[in-house]
Amino acid sequence: MSLTLYHGEPNGPSLTVLAALFAKQLRADLRYLDLARGERHTLDCAHEPLVAMSIEGEGPVLVADGEAMSDSVFIACYLDDVGQGAALRPAVPYDRWETMKWCRQMIERTAPAAAYLGCHAHPPQVDAALLARIGSMDLRARWEEIAAGQFSAEKLEDSRTKIAQAAERIETRLAGREWLMGAYSIADLESYAWLAGMVPLVPEAFPERTRTRDWLSRVQASAPVAKALSLARTADPAAVWSVGPEINRWG
Amino acid sequence: MHSVTLYHWEPNANSGKPMLALMEKGVAFNSHYLDLLKFDQHRPEYLAINPQGTIPAMVHGDRVLTESTAMMEYVEEAFPGPRLMPEDPRDRWRVRWWMKFMDQWLGPSFSMIGWSVFVGPAVRARDPAELKAAIERIPLPERRVAWTKAISGNFGAEEMAESRRRVALGIRMLEDALARRPWLASDEFSLADINGFNLAYALPLAQPALSNDDLTPNILRWLRTIYARPATRACWAMGRTSMVERVKILEQPRIAAGQLA
């Protein structure tokens, strides 16, 4: 099996996939991309439909035996299937359902909010020549808005609410648990990856001496995440953001 | 074995996904029909089961499951019967990729158009005070916005144009994928096809200028093949509205460009 992982700073979707790769004891050719400059769009495989039209925004790309794969949670599921060591999803169907449902909420509600707030606080600087190479019109439109500094006060406020709601869900979920699904799982990776950078941006959502703060520390210290974070090229990878998923167009 | 009860609307979109998955697996279930157009999903007796008021919900034994796509994966894993997820991990990745793409990008555009031409007009004639009360009972704020827009017909020209752009692009993507493989995500029938059929079963009727045997022969082959499956026939027979009768367009052996336009 040949794996090449194109990834950005260990934050957001890149962090999820890097940590899953390390947790599953897999070896991959790691290629660093500056996702905040839109460098993913320099890749030939960026134009393949299931990469170009990924709705995750500027996430990592795993090339597995020649097939380019996008969407961090599903790449992590793939790595969980093909790798070694402890499973990153529970074995019992109901618990697996909870994991996938949890990740769906992260993907659909939390990730767009986190990326929006992250880009507002730490604007990515797209290379203008790369904008024209972006295959998805709606992704390009999000890039153009962010490059122009166009952030809606309403969306910023709604995003802060969604981060607070995610933190509340985590706080509730962690009652009597060390990890979100009982054992260390993709849900921990994906939730941490989007929320670690939100602590300084939405501090009221993360009070001190809560289960959520303890869990954030535990995930950060876990071997796969620590190894992913060691690949950072900046002092604070949680402050490096690129364009994320779209905020729901309606309902 | 614990009993299964499915709370659902029509075999269409999210409701139809677990309905068809259960029927493909051969799992008997108690069908509890909720009339979306009468806001059954926001009544206290249903909110006691699913406080978010979204459809569908499945009760298996004493457990309640929501989120139709995750629910389909549960159906696949919890019950015996024909396999609905491929064995190959890369194929499974593709199944999930397509389901997310349809659930979160293509589906909302289809449904924005569908709600503007079907759901909105179907409920708009009701007593305004009754509608207002019904909207106020909706637990999720996003769904309150969606229902308000659907009822008032208040979709902006720009957002409708964007939905039409996405539908046209999505149709091309489906056609290209189905030109490469017999099924959407792999060489075998899977949850991605169940998801896709629920989204696209009426495509040649709803989008005749974009999908027909001349322009999208692979989509038409795919839809007709799924429609011919016994589980699909049984599932769509559970429909009660004219909306799901649109599936009968697939009984036509050929739909030429311009025939339905």
**Which residue ranges form the domains of chain A, and what is each CATH number?**
3-82 (3.40.30.10), 93-222 (1.20.1050.10)
Higher pLDDT, B200 or B131: B200
Judge: A251–B94 Cβ closer than 8 Å, yes or no.
no
Judge: B105–A53 Cβ closer than 8 Å, yes or no.
yes
- From A67, which residue of chain B is nearest by alpha-carbon distance? B90
Confidence of residue B261 (pLDDT cuts 50, 70, 90): low
> A180 with A188: CB under 8 angstroms?
yes
A137 touches chain B (CB under 8 A): yes
Tens-place pLDDT, residues B237-260:
999 998 899 999 999 999 999 887
Phi and psi at B7, nearest 5°, equal -95, 115
Confidence of residue B123 (pLDDT cuts 50, 70, 90): confident
Among candidates A78, A101, A108 on the partner chain, residue whose Cβ is nearest the Cβ of B104: A108
Mark out the alpha helices in chain A (DSSP H runs): 12-23, 49-52, 72-82, 93-105, 111-121, 128-131, 137-147, 153-173, 186-195, 211-221, 223-229
Question: Would you call B163 helix, strand, or coil by DSSP?
Answer: helix
> B17 with B194: CB under 8 angstroms?
yes
Mark out the alpha helices in B50-139 (DSSP H runs): 68-78, 89-101, 107-114, 120-124, 128-136
B135 touches chain A (CB under 8 A): no
- From B75, which residue of chain A is nearest by alpha-carbon distance? A93
Write down the pLDDT at residue B163.
95
> How close, in Å, is residue B149 to chain A by CA atoms?
9
A94 touches chain B (CB under 8 A): yes
Q: Round to whole Å and give the CA distance between B61 and B2.
A: 5
Judge: B165–A137 Cβ closer than 8 Å, yes or no.
yes
> A56 with A71: CB under 8 angstroms?
yes
Rounded to the nearest 10 degrees, the angle between the axes of helix B68-78 and helix B191-200 is: 140
Judge: B97–A81 Cβ closer than 8 Å, yes or no.
no
B176 touches chain A (CB under 8 A): yes
Among candidates B94, B142, B166 on the partner chain, residue whose Cβ is nearest the Cβ of A248: B142
Q: Round to whole Å and give the CA distance between B219 and B208.
A: 13
Residues found in chain A: 251
Among candidates A74, A101, A245 on the partner chain, residue whose Cβ is nearest the Cβ of B97: A74
Judge: A104–B90 Cβ closer than 8 Å, yes or no.
no
- Which residue from B128, B21, B16, B103 is spatially nearest to A74, judged by alpha carbons? B103
Interface mutation vs chain A, best among B76, B104, B113, B195, most A CBs within 10 Å? B104
Tens-place pLDDT, residues A157-198:
999 999 999 999 999 999 999 999 999 999 999 999 999 999
Higher pLDDT, A248 or B237: B237
Percentage, residues of chain B above pLDDT 90: 74
Tens-place pLDDT, residues A127-156:
888 888 999 999 999 999 999 999 999 999
B74 touches chain A (CB under 8 A): yes
Judge: B145–A104 Cβ closer than 8 Å, yes or no.
no
pTM of structure: 0.96
ipTM exceeding cut-off 0.85 for this assembly: yes
Q: For residue A207, say if its preceding peptide bond is cis, omega within 30 degrees of 0.
A: no
Confidence of residue A251 (pLDDT cuts 50, 70, 90): low
Question: Would you say residue B118 has pLDDT above 80?
Answer: no
